[in-house]
Structure 1
Amino acid sequence: MPNRRAHLAPQSTHGQLAAALAALRVSNEIPDAFPADALAEAAAAETSIPPLDLREVPFVTLDPIGSKDLDQAFHIEAQGSGFRVRYAIADLPGFVRPGGALDREAQNRGQTLYLPDARVPLHPAELSEGRASLLAGEDRVAFVWTLDLDANGAETGAQVERARVRSRAQLDYPAAQAAIDAGGDAAYLPLLELLRTVGTLRIAQERARGGASLNMPDEEIVREADGYRIVRNPALPIEEWNAQLSLLAGMAAGSMMLKARVGILRTMPAPEADALHTFRASVAALGHPWSSDQSYGEYLRGLDAASPMTAAVLQAAAALFRGADYTPFDGELPDQTLQAAIAAPYAHVTAPLRRLVDRWGLVICEAISAGQPVPGWARESLNELPALMRAASQRASQVGSQALDRVEAALLRDRVGDELSAVVVEVRGERARVQLDDPAVTAQVSAAGFTAGTRVRVRVVSADIATGTVELAPVPAPA
């Protein structure tokens, strides 16, 4: 298991931090309760029951501990020399009337927000944590992707259709990883072993097509009874294998849309030559040169997650993963069809409970797969989606960053005057960004000759919770 580093904000800061986080929701115009008409519509909504019944398939869900908004369930079986992956996605579209009060509110929100002191859902809990969620032991309707793979993990066939399903168990990442690591006769171990096999094969497929996964350490603000913690830890292997199922469905959806000449892709341009040149120079300076005969994705996969230099390399790499957007089309294909990091056409279709655009992707692909016309409401509103998703992403990024700043300030408020150890993550001009060892805080400091990837000492000068401002000063090295 990865090392988890955390530090608790002192009790004396709790009232100030709570007030600062509440003020953030107001200043960023974060929606609070759902309008009465949207709640009434959610309570009364019923999805239609399809004729296909797949309840005999032993699906399971795999999510972070405590998740209730369960978008996906999976099942994998060997098929000849290859595999059949079934990936069930929550039938949220069946509960939302296009143009209704619930639809309007979802378009206003765009995505679920996860904040330190609150979770702001895209849809009312009545649906997102209840009747639409793929909860274990409950009969549900889902969009089921059937994805056939050959012995090397390459996709050989894909379709999606609505069906009745029943998840057998709600698994979580740490326990599932522990079961795989320990072996033995743990429940669902054979299925998890198949997930590892397929996930590993799909990672090899990603490598072969030139894709790259930027596995930044997970950074989570955890609220507990006695305060907040910032926890950073690298992704477990099982999280990467599970992510490959979502990527597999998304790539199948992208190809399906392009063939039918209608849909909405998640696109990202390839990095510019100047950006690649800058990245090569940066990582060489960090002591991790990128060989000219090594692909970008292979280079990132070879990084040692335990090395203090890796944070600096990943920070430099993040600058290349820019320009992502949503590209709708109907008839004429767009100029940009690839998601460069994935190195394939790709569409969002696996998280409808938490992301608005997936509702469109699912109904479009289900219609294409069935040879039926795409519903008029979905086709007619395609061009509205990019602006809605950009606004939602910008709001989520902004409020998330501001919330993190305020929690970090709370963690450091009682450490003013202390000297702390840190790793230099990035240097830009006269400023450097450092990551403290304990507490796990990232902040700016005068560069003072710092070099990215090196270990330094800094002193906490000030920490203001209300504004989220932290000031550090470099500590001169001993003579």
Structure 2
Amino acid sequence: MTAPGASQRGTSEERTGRSPRTSGSTWNPAGTAGWRSPRWPADLPGGPDFSAIRAEFDVAESFPADVLAEAEAMAAAPPLPDVDATDLPLVTVDPVGSRDLDQAVHLRREGAGYLVSYAIADVGAVVRPGSALDAEARRRGSTLYTPDRRVPLYPPVLSEGAASLLPDEVRAAALWTIRLDGDGDVRAIDVRRARVRSRDQLAYPDVQGQADSGGLPEAIALLPELGRLLQARAGGRGAIELGTPEQQVEHGPDGGWTITVRGDLPVEGWNAQISLLTGRAAARLMLDGGVGLLRTLPPPAPEAVEALRRLAGPLGVDWRDGATPGAVVAALDPDRPAHAAFLEEAATLLRGAAYTPFDGSAPAQSGHGGVGAPYAHVTAPLRRLVDRFGTEVCLALAAGRAPEPAVRAALPELPALMAASDRRIRTVERAVVDATEAELLRHRVGEVFDAVAVDAEGTRGTVVLPEPAIRARCSGPLTPGTAVRVRLVEADVERRSVRFELVA
């Protein structure tokens, strides 16, 4: 199980905010990417107590009265920009049932190239620095997702209402216009406040079905073509995109909870490329303007690359001379156990992500080793604190003016706030999955299961069970990528602990 939030699978920085491991709904249509285990319900009604986990880690489930009052006032009369772009037929593309819609997109050809119109919810129009809403958002950092509920960054009257890009509603947005040539290189960037109106709310599985049948809506008809082009360009930059399937806690019809594993649909990767493109455009504006907040990641350490290369042969991975780690990873099939084990180890290449503020000269480390370019977070402001400030910086710079002093002053404070939020999210997510695993297995101590070893160190390692989809520690001499038989020796619900031993 990999880290949430920032880079939920590999470097998918723009899939943030909706944890694939703790989603309350599920889908994995036949023939789509990824795999899932059969349902394995918890036998106690309701299963693990996720509310107790949230309380244990001080997750604020309700908003203070002054924050709610401020949100209600803003929602009653949200300010709208003068620029009218409601004639642009935008659509949103999100997981099924989403209400906090940050992004709406329209793609079209422009000569031999492409014109990308990307509307981002204008949270800065309703949340001002120094307000009660701003102070509460700084305490929270990000929206937190657990299987039974979402704990939002902003009150739902804004995040799922007046600020969300819901269909057929006029909304304030930061409208990005990015022109690309036929090779996918950026020719021009503009961002300004505008009124927009999304025409439709689309869900990933439906869009994938439309893409497979050749029936995509006009607004995103170019998404497969442009998405693949941008993916290819990312590979050329040395970007590393891990496609490791992840654990996901699901709610079933009987009221119990189970764990499955799924990978991304192709459309999710294409859609993420539009957000990554916008994040790269934002970083360019910031670096050219001499002020901003970048999402940075150092390039993989040579010793980490060499250690990973040594695993390629034993795991049956083809790593040809001159191939970059990103190219090797892109060619793998996560459904093959040996490849999945290699992808688990490849995550070591993507350590050290940070938020890097600067005001004046560019930082020494300005790139993102996973994206393969400088990059900034600006496309998920309803769900992530930093995006609101990054957007405000870009709006100012694109208009030829300096960012507001309050925005500028906040930039050095944001890395610590986001680090605290990310730690809390990781801790809660891990506790949720651990509790569910222990609940599913608590009556099966002593039983033997089929599993796959995904990593090993000395006489211990990690194994993954396909049925149920559980990842846990295991004692014994393991070889990554091999099928093994393991005995369950511990499933402690109170301690949220599951442990196996290798069967000789």
TM-score by length of 1: 0.95
Do structure 1's residue 207 and structure 2's residue 235 form an aligned pair?
yes
Do structure 1's residue 245 and structure 2's residue 274 form an aligned pair?
yes
* Alpha-carbon shift at residue 203 of structure 1 (Å): 0.8
Following the alignment from structure 2 to structure 1, what is the Cα–Cα distance between the partners of residues 246 and 450? 21
* Alpha-carbon shift at residue 105 of structure 1 (Å): 0.6
Structure 1 residues 6 and 304, CA gap change in structure 2 (3 angstroms): closer
Which residue of 1 is the match for residue 427 of structure 2? 398
CA contact (8 A) 2:42 2:258 kept: no
* Alpha-carbon shift at residue 442 of structure 1 (Å): 0.4
Which residue of 1 is the match for residue 167 of structure 2? 136
Task: Give the letter for the 2:66 counterpart.
Answer: D
Do structure 1's residue 443 and structure 2's residue 443 form an aligned pair?
no
* Alpha-carbon shift at residue 289 of structure 1 (Å): 4.5
Unaligned runs of 5+ in 2: 1-31
Which residue of 2 is the match for residue 455 of structure 1? 483
Q: What SS is found at the alignment partner of 1:381? A: helix
Which residue of 1 is the match for residue 333 of structure 2? 304
- More displaced 10-residue stretch of structure 1: 211-220 or 239-248: 211-220
Following the alignment from structure 2 to structure 1, what is the Cα–Cα distance between the partners of residues 248 and 42? 20
Q: Which of 301, 308, 325 lines up with 1:279 in the alignment? A: 308
Following the alignment from structure 1 to structure 2, what is the Cα–Cα distance between the partners of residues 359 and 475? 52
Task: Give the letter for the 1:114 counterpart.
Answer: Y
Matched residues, number:
470
Q: What SS is found at the alignment partner of 1:141? A: strand
Following the alignment from structure 1 to structure 2, what is the Cα–Cα distance between the partners of residues 353 and 215? 26
Following the alignment from structure 2 to structure 1, what is the Cα–Cα distance between the partners of residues 42 and 414? 43
Q: Which of 243, 250, 260 lines up with 1:222 in the alignment? A: 250
* Alpha-carbon shift at residue 270 of structure 1 (Å): 1.1
Which residue of 1 is the match for residue 367 of structure 2? 338
Alpha carbon RMSD of aligned pairs, Å? 1.5
Do structure 1's residue 361 and structure 2's residue 384 form an aligned pair?
no
Following the alignment from structure 1 to structure 2, what is the Cα–Cα distance between the partners of residues 388 and 49? 29
Do structure 1's residue 25 and structure 2's residue 54 form an aligned pair?
yes
Structure 1 residues 340 and 452, CA gap change in structure 2 (3 angstroms): same
CA contact (8 A) 1:7 1:229 kept: no
Following the alignment from structure 1 to structure 2, what is the Cα–Cα distance between the partners of residues 392 and 176? 32
Task: Give the letter for the 2:223 counterpart.
Answer: L
Structure 1 residues 236 and 15, CA gap change in structure 2 (3 angstroms): closer
Following the alignment from structure 1 to structure 2, what is the Cα–Cα distance between the partners of residues 148 and 219? 37
Q: What SS is found at the alignment partner of 1:294? A: coil
Do structure 1's residue 266 and structure 2's residue 295 form an aligned pair?
yes
Do structure 1's residue 294 and structure 2's residue 323 form an aligned pair?
yes
* Alpha-carbon shift at residue 87 of structure 1 (Å): 0.5
- Aligned pairs (5 A) from 1:20-419: 21-45=50-74, 46-183=77-214, 186=215, 188-225=216-253, 226-419=255-448
Q: Which of 438, 458, 475 lines up with 2:503 in the alignment? A: 475
Following the alignment from structure 1 to structure 2, what is the Cα–Cα distance between the partners of residues 338 and 2? 30
Following the alignment from structure 1 to structure 2, what is the Cα–Cα distance between the partners of residues 160 and 248? 13
Unaligned runs of 5+ in 1: none
CA contact (8 A) 1:34 1:124 kept: yes
Following the alignment from structure 2 to structure 1, what is the Cα–Cα distance between the partners of residues 218 and 61? 43
CA contact (8 A) 1:265 1:326 kept: yes
Following the alignment from structure 2 to structure 1, what is the Cα–Cα distance between the partners of residues 400 and 200? 33
- More displaced 10-residue stretch of structure 1: 54-63 or 367-376: 367-376
* Alpha-carbon shift at residue 223 of structure 1 (Å): 2.3
CA contact (8 A) 1:211 1:343 kept: yes
* Alpha-carbon shift at residue 3 of structure 1 (Å): 5.1
CA contact (8 A) 1:425 1:435 kept: yes
* Alpha-carbon shift at residue 192 of structure 1 (Å): 3.4
Following the alignment from structure 2 to structure 1, what is the Cα–Cα distance between the partners of residues 495 and 381? 34
Following the alignment from structure 1 to structure 2, what is the Cα–Cα distance between the partners of residues 182 and 267? 38
Deviations, residues 146-186 of structure 1 (Å, cap 9, x unaligned): 01011111111111011111111111111110111123xx4
Structure 1 residues 218 and 147, CA gap change in structure 2 (3 angstroms): farther
CA contact (8 A) 1:10 1:414 kept: no
Structure 1 residues 292 and 233, CA gap change in structure 2 (3 angstroms): same
* Alpha-carbon shift at residue 307 of structure 1 (Å): 1.0
Following the alignment from structure 2 to structure 1, what is the Cα–Cα distance between the partners of residues 242 and 78? 37
CA contact (8 A) 1:141 1:165 kept: yes
Deviations, residues 30-72 of structure 1 (Å, cap 9, x unaligned): 1120011100010001442212111111100001111111000
- More displaced 10-residue stretch of structure 1: 258-267 or 403-412: 403-412
Following the alignment from structure 1 to structure 2, what is the Cα–Cα distance between the partners of residues 123 and 8? 34
Following the alignment from structure 1 to structure 2, what is the Cα–Cα distance between the partners of residues 414 and 181? 43
Q: What SS is found at the alignment partner of 1:13? A: coil
Q: Which of 432, 445, 449 lines up with 2:461 in the alignment? A: 432
CA contact (8 A) 1:256 1:365 kept: yes
TM-score by length of 2: 0.90
Task: Give the letter for the 2:156 counterpart.
Answer: A
* Alpha-carbon shift at residue 466 of structure 1 (Å): 1.8
Following the alignment from structure 1 to structure 2, what is the Cα–Cα distance between the partners of residues 36 and 223? 31
Following the alignment from structure 2 to structure 1, what is the Cα–Cα distance between the partners of residues 308 and 236? 22
* Alpha-carbon shift at residue 275 of structure 1 (Å): 1.4
Following the alignment from structure 1 to structure 2, what is the Cα–Cα distance between the partners of residues 467 and 41? 41
Task: Give the letter for the 1:88 counterpart.
Answer: A
